[in-house]
Amino acid sequence: MTWQLWLAHAIVHDNPLPWQKKQSKLSPGRVAQSMAAVFAAIGTPSIEPKPRGKSPGWPAGKLRLRRIRYATVKKSTAKPKKEQPQSA
């Protein structure tokens, strides 16, 4: 990102923190600190974030169908096997 900072040093203004002195020729670190103002001015190409939290719900007037109910399947005990007659 250093080449981007080098290109941007002409368009950014020094915005020093309270304990820093003003500089006429900005270092790459100072340019990086001042880039927030540039990004705020030009915007970003990324899409806006999706809404979070509670959902807006169903659209008004949309037909909602109840879910299909199926018969309950229960487990059954194993049936005893039929005994075959023994041959004599």
* Average pLDDT over the chain, rounded to an integer: 82
> Tell me, what's the pLDDT at 1?
64
Q: Is residue 19 part of a domain?
A: no
Looking at residues 57-78, what average pLDDT do you find? 89
Q: Which of 57, 17, 19, 11 has its CA nearest to residue 38?
A: 11
Has residue 88 got a pLDDT over 70? no
Cβ 36 vs Cβ 17: under 8 Å: no
**pLDDT class of 68 with cuts at 50, 70, 90:** very high
Looking at residues 68-78, what average pLDDT do you find? 87
Q: Is residue 36 part of a domain?
A: yes
Q: Is residue 3 part of a domain?
A: yes
Q: Is residue 81 part of a domain?
A: no
Q: Is residue 37 part of a domain?
A: yes
- Which whole-number Å values give the CA distances from 27 to 17, 35, 76, in the listed order? 14, 12, 80
Domain count, the chain: 1
> Tell me, what's the pLDDT at 67?
93
Q: Is residue 32 part of a domain?
A: yes
Residue 44 exposed, middle or buried by CB count within 10 Å (0-12, 13-18, 19+): exposed
Q: Is residue 88 part of a domain?
A: no
User: Could you read off the pLDDT of 3-30 as tens digits, one per residue?
Assistant: 888 887 788 877 777 898 888 888 888 8
- For residue 41, the enclosing domain spans 1-13+25-46
Q: Is residue 72 part of a domain?
A: no
